[in-house]
Amino acid sequence: MNYTLFVLIAYAILMIGSTVLLTQKEGNIERFCVGDRNTGWGMSALSIAATWIWAPALFTSTENAYTKGFAGLFWFLIPNVLCLILFIPFAKKIRKEMPEGITLSGYMYEKYHSKPVRNVYLFQLGALSALSTGVQLLAGSKILSMLSGIPFAAMTIIMAVIAFSYSQFSGIKASILTDAIQMVFMLAVSICFVVFGIKNDGGFETLVKGLGGAAGDAGSLFSKRGWEIFLGFGLPTTIGLLSGPFGDQCFWQRAFSVRKDRIGRAFFIGALLFGIVPLSMGILGFIGAGMGYAATDTGIVNFELISALLPAWAVVPFLFMIISGLLSTIDSNLCAVSSLATDIVRKKTLGKSKISMIILLAVGIGVANIPGLTVTHLFLMYGTLRAATLLPTVFTLAGAKLKPQGIVAGIISALLIGLPIFGYGNIQGIAAYKTAGSLLTVILSGTVALAVSRTGGVNHG
């Protein structure tokens, strides 16, 4: 049997089996979305880390280290870790203010009693889930299709079906349990790859030599090349990443699910655990650059390096790690959209929430199959999308008094002005447009919301 298919089948059996054996099929809509609101910090930390390990964490980290050296990995890794830590006080605040909550959009509705506010948040959170699901399917199917010979489109469907099979069984409990299993495996494999890579391919000298990237000019944050990387990649990436959890229902859902007095510990440990995986993948990129490896496709250079530098059997755990990382985010997105469905339908039923999961997968499969799209393009695009609600969310949780029309105007301004400018710069590869678009997306949503809110009228909060 083709070893790629073997890995897929083994993954499916392990995740479905664990879910069926260790959780109970859930029939209550609230417990399906947030469990018993008493999940321990250890399981939650592993789940938070696994959910944050999406396609870019596995592929873009190695690609940036290989092509952009230390500067590229720095501007990818550090904001990725910090964003989860900065999220902690706001996760605690939303749980305190809305202890029986399920979604961020639901919280904003309760705060402002405004359907337009709820709807604009539902649009942002739902669009993010769709794009995020699409990028996971795109990244995973690209490699799995190449190795197995199964057509790319068919592989996106297979991955989607696997994620749905266990997610629909017990919802958030299934997601957290399988996330924890996946994260333990990813940590073990990524650390082993680094140890083998350093041991077998020139040691620390090769690693240090590779800090400058393949071109050897990106070893410093403050060199000319370092500043170019900051403006073209680092700044828009940092903006997108720091706003990441704030615009992603997956993390608000976990804030409502974890034991109330363990929220801070869960997110802090989760951030540190997450950082180990992209750091390890980045070190592989340094090693490849340091030894002068010529990548055929920099987008999957980690796979190329593991195939070329490590024993043949190493591809099997690597594939299992890739599948784990990608599907952990997809199953989290499925649980997130099932919770968002409770804000959309009048009569909340488990069946309708599960239908929303199927719709999300259909949209994600469609996104993944759009010709010409790359993982990095999608990553930067949805990173900027979630920045559109950052400041209104932060202002509200911080106690600022905003008007509903101000919030709606601010977010729509960000989506109609900032996002298109960023999108153009992203597609054309123009750093100035990407930077301007990222900044406008964040700034417009906040400044317009404040400006409109100061014109008078009834405030909420």
Q: What is the pLDDT of residue 56?
A: 67
Residue 362: burial class (beta carbons within 10 Å; 0-12, 13-18, 19+): middle
Nearest to 269 by CA among 455, 434, 45: 45
Q: How far apart are CA 21 and CA 13, in angstroms?
A: 12
Write phi, then psi, for 397 (nearest 5 degrees).
-65, -25
Name the fold adopted by 7-372.
Sodium/glucose cotransporter (1.20.1730)
What residues pair up with 460 in beta bridges, in sequence order? 402
Element (H, E) at 40: none
8 A C-beta contact, residue 344 and residue 103: no
Nearest to 104 by CA among 407, 442, 458: 407
| Per-residue tens of pLDDT for the chain, all 461 residues | 578 888 999 999 999 999 999 999 999 999 999 999 999 999 999 999 999 997 667 888 999 999 999 999 999 999 999 999 999 999 999 999 999 999 999 999 999 999 999 999 999 999 999 999 998 898 888 888 988 899 999 999 999 999 999 999 999 999 999 999 999 999 999 999 998 888 876 678 889 999 999 888 888 898 899 898 988 888 888 887 888 899 999 999 999 999 999 999 999 999 999 999 999 999 999 999 999 999 888 888 888 999 888 888 898 999 999 899 889 999 999 999 999 999 998 788 899 999 999 999 999 999 999 887 777 667 667 777 888 999 999 999 999 989 999 999 999 999 999 988 988 887 787 878 888 888 899 999 999 999 999 875 444 44
Query: Structural domain boundaries of the chain?
Result: 7-372
Q: How far apart are CA 14 and CA 245, in angstroms?
A: 28
Q: What is the pLDDT of residue 276?
A: 96
Q: What is the pLDDT of residue 364?
A: 95
DSSP per residue, 261-278? GGHHHHHHHHHHHHHHHH
Three-class secondary structure of residue 36 per DSSP: coil
Using CA atoms in the order 167, 170, 171, 172, what is the torsion angle rounded to 10 degrees?
-110
8 A C-beta contact, residue 36 and residue 181: no
